[in-house]
């Protein structure tokens, strides 16, 4: 079944919905950092030390991320091969949004951002816990977060990435339901939720980055 | 109207094509696009130039033969019309109009603006039909009650004329709208449900074998479809496919 075009699209859609759920959880936890340092530290410590999260959910998440990106490239290559000779004039804007036609580009920006994000947070965290085996400190997370956003260039890079994340979500989330087979009376509500989610979550992430940048001055 | 036409010329399937420029004058705004092409071809023949080959048949928007990609859109800038129903009043005096064939690897160019769309025929042959017992005891179709809502949706899908504008407009050259219309028109009716499982699996397999791209839900096909076939059909075909895959 996975060899068919529809099966591949379904796999792409399901991995996308999974990543949206993760994004919602990540956003919720990060938002606590602007409300309560103690709460943020407490949740971060739980997420960073719980064996179920660390050794079951985290590998599933990494697999989900890698799968979504690899399948995205596989589909893109196949799609490009389906029209070897391009049109001299192709008025894509006449019938489809820029966002829907350029998911690969917003996806590549998000992939690049993930590289930076892993460099900033994930690799140091893995190094701290599993390579250098540094002593456990449940109160270090908030300080690390504020420190990371001290550099204004980083805040700008994160904000630009979140803009592209918004574009990707704007088409991707509702589109995944169409692929799953949902196109009915609920579609309007799904689209409304998609618009709200694709604005609120990335804008919230920008707010968190700017907040901690100003907080750390 | 005086126009400049930039038209894809390609002598045959193996030849390398290129865009040629032809000026045309005194075009009536009331002409259809194909009539304008007829006038151009008459002028070309007088000059000893090979006329532009293009597909056409009924010239009233029901056969699905005309297949030009005009100024970056399948069937041109108008909506819910085929090229034969497009009129020159949609353009302005002095315009430059670019005319290309429908492009997809599954639709190879035969000559100039004519393309081979037999891939659609092979998809239909893979399952786009209902096997009817014609031994003499066939049940009268009118004796089978069908929900009006389903009958309307089946009809909406069945009006697809198979022109290929969906493939031509899709940035991925995907045939999902066409195939989903053909799957839907049967899946919604009791007569079509008997072979529903094999139908969707076989038609999707044939679609993939023909080399069409994947659907990325841009919605371009729905906008450019001269018959207004809805994306709802693609969602229905996806459901049919998942269900059939689990059964099969």
Q: Do A82 and B6 touch (CB under 8 A)?
A: no
Query: With an 8 Å Cβ cutoff, is A192 touching chain B?
Result: no
Q: What is the pLDDT of residue B247?
A: 87
- Asked if B138 and B131 touch (Cβ cutoff 8 Å), the reply is no
pLDDT tens figures, A6-34: 999 999 999 999 999 999 999 999 999 99
pLDDT tens figures, B124-135: 999 999 998 778
Q: Is the pLDDT of residue B161 over 90?
A: yes
- Asked if A45 and A101 touch (Cβ cutoff 8 Å), the reply is no
- Chain A: closest CA distance from residue B87 (Å): 18
Q: How does residue B137 score in pLDDT terms, banded at 50, 70 and 90? A: confident
Give the pLDDT mean for B154-167: 98
- Asked if B166 and B64 touch (Cβ cutoff 8 Å), the reply is no
CA distances from A101 to A61, A92, A95, B109 (A): 27, 8, 10, 25
Domain of residue A113, CATH code: 1.20.1300.10
Q: Is the pLDDT of residue A199 over 60?
A: yes
- Asked if A107 and A69 touch (Cβ cutoff 8 Å), the reply is yes
Is position A95 within any domain? no
Rounded-to-integer distance, Cα B65 and Cα B83, Å: 9
Q: How does residue B142 score in pLDDT terms, banded at 50, 70 and 90? A: confident
Give the dihedral sign, CA A86/A90/A96/A101: positive
Q: Is the pLDDT of residue A1 over 50?
A: no
Is position A201 within any domain? yes
Structure tokens at A168: 């990707």
Give me the number of domains chain A comprises: 1
Is position A93 within any domain? no
Is position A94 within any domain? no
Is position A90 within any domain? no
Look up the ipTM and state it. Answer: 0.93
Q: What is the pLDDT of residue B133?
A: 78
**To probe the interface with A, which of B10, B67, B218, B246 has the most A CB atoms within 10 Å?**
B218
Q: Do B234 and A92 touch (CB under 8 A)?
A: no
Per-residue burial over A13-50, b if 16 or more Cβ lie within 10 Å, else e, is: bbbbbbbbeebeeebeebbbbeeebeebbebbbebbee
Q: Domains plus CATH for chain B?
A: 3-111 (3.10.20.30), 118-247 (1.10.1060.10)
Is position A173 within any domain? yes
Q: Is the pLDDT of residue B248 over 80?
A: no
- Chain B: closest CA distance from residue A23 (Å): 22
Query: With an 8 Å Cβ cutoff, is B172 touching chain A?
Result: yes
Rounded-to-integer distance, Cα B238 and Cα A175, Å: 13
Query: With an 8 Å Cβ cutoff, is B103 touching chain A?
Result: yes
Residue of A nearest to B97 (CA): A89
Query: With an 8 Å Cβ cutoff, is B200 touching chain A?
Result: no
pLDDT tens figures, B58-107: 999 999 999 999 999 999 999 999 999 999 999 999 999 999 999 999 99
Q: What is the pLDDT of residue A3?
A: 86
* CB-closest option in B214, B237, B241 to A79: B214
Residue A204 neighbours by CB under 8 Å, 6+ apart: A27, A30, A31
Give the pLDDT mean for B190-211: 96
Q: What is the pLDDT of residue B106?
A: 98
Structural domain boundaries enclosing A54: 5-83+101-215
């Amino acid at each position: 079944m996975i060899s068919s075009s529809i099966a591949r699209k379904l796999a792409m859609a399901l991995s996308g919905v999974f990543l949206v759920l993760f994004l919602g959880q990540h956003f919720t936890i990060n938002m606590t950092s602007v409300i309560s340092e103690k709460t943020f530290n407490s949740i971060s410590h739980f997420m960073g030390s719980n064996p179920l999260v660390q050794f079951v959910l985290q590998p599933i998440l990494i697999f989900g991320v890698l799968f979504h990106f690899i399948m995205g490239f596989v589909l893109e290559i196949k799609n490009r091969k389906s029209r070897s000779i391009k049109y001299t004039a192709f008025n894509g804007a006449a019938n489809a949004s820029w966002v829907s036609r350029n998911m690969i580009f917003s996806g590549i920006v998000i992939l690049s951002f993930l590289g930076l994000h892993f460099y900033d947070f994930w690799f140091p965290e893995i190094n701290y816990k599993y390579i250098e085996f540094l002593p456990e400190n449940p109160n270090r997370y908030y300080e690390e977060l504020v420190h990371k956003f001290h550099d204004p260039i980083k805040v700008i890079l994160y904000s630009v990435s979140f803009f592209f994340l918004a574009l990707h979500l704007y088409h991707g989330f509702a589109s995944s339901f169409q692929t799953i087979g949902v196109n009915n009376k609920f579609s309007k509500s799904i689209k409304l939720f998609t618009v709200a989610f694709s604005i609120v979550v990335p804008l919230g992430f920008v707010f968190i980055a700017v907040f901690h940048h100003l907080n750390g001055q | 109207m005086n126009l400049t036409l930039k038209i894809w010329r390609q002598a045959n399937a193996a030849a390398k094509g290129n865009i040629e420029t032809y000026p045309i004058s005194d075009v009536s705004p009331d002409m259809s696009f194909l009539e304008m092409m007829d006038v151009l071809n008459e002028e070309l023949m007088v000059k000893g130039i090979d006329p532009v080959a293009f597909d056409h048949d009924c010239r009233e928007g029901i056969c699905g033969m005309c297949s030009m990609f005009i100024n970056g859109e399948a069937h041109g800038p108008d909506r819910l019309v085929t090229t034969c129903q497009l009129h020159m009043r949609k353009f302005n005096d002095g315009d430059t109009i670019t005319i290309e064939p429908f492009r997809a690897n599954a639709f190879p160019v035969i000559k100039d603006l004519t393309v081979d769309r037999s891939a659609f025929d092979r998809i239909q042959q893979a399952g786009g039909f209902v096997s009817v017992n014609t031994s003499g005891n066939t049940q009268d179709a009118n004796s089978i009650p069908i929900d009006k809502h389903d009958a309307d949706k089946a009809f909406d899908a069945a009006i697809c004329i198979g022109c290929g504008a969906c493939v031509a407009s899709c940035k991925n050259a995907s045939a999902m709208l066409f195939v989903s219309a053909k799957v839907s028109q049967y899946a919604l009716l009791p007569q079509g449900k008997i072979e529903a499982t094999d139908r969707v699996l076989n038609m999707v397999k044939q679609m993939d074998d023909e080399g069409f791209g994947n659907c990325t839900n841009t919605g371009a096909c729905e906008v450019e479809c001269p018959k207004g076939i809805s994306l709802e059909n693609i969602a229905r075909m996806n459901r049919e496919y998942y269900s059939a895959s689990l059964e099969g």
